[in-house]
Structure 1
Amino acid sequence: MTTMKAKKYDKLLFGTAGVPISSPKPDTISGIRQVRTLGLDCMELEFVHGVRMSDKTAADVNETAKGNNISLSVHGPYYINLNAVEPEKLTASVERIYESARVGSLCSAQNIVFHPAFYLKDDKKTVYDRVFNLLKELRTRLDDEGIPAVLRPETTGKATQFGDLDELISMSAELDGVLPCFDFSHIHARDGKHNTYEEFSAIFEKIEKELGKDGLLSMHCHISGIEYTAKGERNHLFLDESDMNYRDLMKVFKEFGAAGTIICESPNIESDALLLKKTYEEI
């Protein structure tokens, strides 16, 4: 049994959360081709309402992605809570992550993103331990079955949700084959901070300190404009219609020599993905 190691990249790839709006057809294969036509580099498969892709289609997606040199990732179903009270909901949550990883790997997607848990009425340490143990078991299962997926619990945008930056970096430092999905918009929306050059730099310093240089060379990130309140995120916005300081964030990516994939989740997914790429390249 060999634990899956995250791929190290030599540059930043930019792409869309799902099929681009401009795609001639709304299916995944057309979306991959459109990502390439747009001059982008990656796409996240949105399994958010369930994993509804056949193994045959996954094989076709794999072939299309490789033929167009597009890196794929997966966003697992929204209906996941690794701190659910009901045993059946807990089991279903684990299975949804497992199936996302299994089908995703058939598509050539390595990074499997999911929102991990809600605190409910439990203390942070209790929830951390529960999520840790479930992901450790799932990690063993994936390794035993030879499923080459990196589990990516996503930094969450509300204080009621498990998954702040410190929790996920700490968990990733302890568990092989588990790394954060750094959603910088969520990190900002969670407390209204983490949106300056200095704050972004501090995040990258923390990543390098806790996860090593490899942590900076295997990043998987979400970025969008974000509307938020004192309770956290509300919804995604266009980058230039929000206060998201993406220009300084791109500057910090470049200064730290970070590499990996950046997925844009703005409502105008490809326009803002291209804006991020252009901003980065002009620095």
Structure 2
Amino acid sequence: MCGKSLNWFFPLFRLVEKLLFGTAGIPLSTPSPADTINGISQVRSLSLSAMELEFVQNVNISREKAPLVKETAKKNGITLTAHGSYYVNLNSDERPKYHASVSRILQAAKILHACGGYSLVFHAGFYLGKTPSQTYGQVKEALKELTASLKDESISLWLRPETTGKPSQFGSLEEIVKLSEEVENILPCIDFSHLYARSAGKFNSNEDFASVLSQIEKSLGKEALKNMHVHLSGMNYTEKGERNHLNFSECKINYKGVLEALHEFKCAGVVISESPNIEGDALISKRYFEGLR
């Protein structure tokens, strides 16, 4: 496939016209009560432009509160995304676990849509002893089921399977890009820190980062580079991959190289900081990117 049609979501694609920087969750500096509403206002106070709602343990925004979240984000000019549940495995052969995984993604998508958000990230699953090809087939069918359900309910947002930090997890760059080619309304979440950890630190050069963006452009078209969802943080790893997130200053990840590649390819979308000092590294990224010429 040489490019991907974005027509169904084209109005949403037009909303994000440059690279926006934001936090994974409520900024640490948010005044009490540090809730979603005050967090959105604090993101603006920090001169950031995006916030990722953290639904990783549960969907912690009610249907009743969602319109207020949407209104607050709109008033402050903040773009919202979300990270879905950690408790997802679309490759599970246990039907209750599989259906629970699908349900968790759908629930997060519905609330994010009600909040005015446009992009939902999640980890798709684990290989669990299956071959990558077998796992890919099951995940693909699950995503087709999910996107059909969302379309039936007129919920227009992007589902973003994420590149993952351990080789035991489904989510190599090739797998995520191929899913985006083959399933309607799927686009990648590129977590450069996960790719760094997945390779035990070997994936860390400007050329490596540029190769990712080249592959996206070749497989999904230039429009996909204008609709990026990126995670970026420091990262600790072992020979088995990701261990835990760190601040930029605590590790050797070449975050400047990531930002330089995004600038070189004229990417638009969101860059979400998942470092422990979430707004600190988000601001470092934003300021460095804005200084590139």
Scaled by the length of structure 1, the TM-score of the pair is: 0.97
Match status 1:163 vs 2:171: yes
Match of 1:207 in 2: 216
Match of 1:238 in 2: 247
Q: Secondary structure at the match of 2:52?
A: strand
Whole-angstrom CA distance in 2 between matches of 1:77 and 1:262: 20
Which aligned segments of 4 or more residues in structure 1 are displaced greater than 2 angstroms?
2-6
Q: Secondary structure at the match of 1:55?
A: coil
Q: How does 1:242-261 map to 2 (within 5 A)?
A: 242-261=251-270
Paired amino acid for 1:249: V
Match of 1:23 in 2: 30
Whole-angstrom CA distance in 2 between matches of 1:269 and 1:54: 24
In structure 2, relative to structure 1, the CA distance for the partners of 1:129 and 1:3 (3 Å cut) is farther
Q: How does 1:65-214 map to 2 (within 5 A)?
A: 65-191=73-199, 192-214=201-223
Unaligned stretches of 5+ residues in structure 1: none
Per the TM alignment, residue 3 of structure 1 is displaced from its structure 2 partner at its CA by 4.6
In the TM superposition, what whole-angstrom CA distance separates every residue of 1:243-281 from its partner, at most 9, and x where no partner exists? 110111111111110110000000000010000001101
Match of 1:61 in 2: 69
Per the TM alignment, residue 137 of structure 1 is displaced from its structure 2 partner at its CA by 1.1
Match of 1:216 in 2: 225
In the TM superposition, what whole-angstrom CA distance separates every residue of 1:41-100 from its partner, at most 9, and x where no partner exists? 000000111113211111100000000000000101110000112100000000000000
Whole-angstrom CA distance in 2 between matches of 1:99 and 1:4: 20
Match status 1:39 vs 2:51: no
| Aligned residues between the structures | 282
Whole-angstrom CA distance in 1 between matches of 2:207 and 2:153: 43
Q: Secondary structure at the match of 1:15?
A: strand
Whole-angstrom CA distance in 1 between matches of 2:48 and 2:198: 29
Paired amino acid for 1:104: L
Q: Cα RMSD between the aligned structures?
A: 1.1
Whole-angstrom CA distance in 2 between matches of 1:148 and 1:60: 19
Match of 2:3 in 1: none
Q: How does 1:265-280 map to 2 (within 5 A)?
A: 265-280=274-289
Paired amino acid for 1:110: Y
Q: Secondary structure at the match of 2:13?
A: coil
Give aligned-pair identity as a percent. 49
Contact 1:200 1:249 in 2 (8 A): yes
Per the TM alignment, residue 4 of structure 1 is displaced from its structure 2 partner at its CA by 3.9
Unaligned stretches of 5+ residues in structure 2: 1-6
Whole-angstrom CA distance in 1 between matches of 2:30 and 2:170: 35
Q: Secondary structure at the match of 2:271?
A: strand
Whole-angstrom CA distance in 2 between matches of 1:30 and 1:160: 38
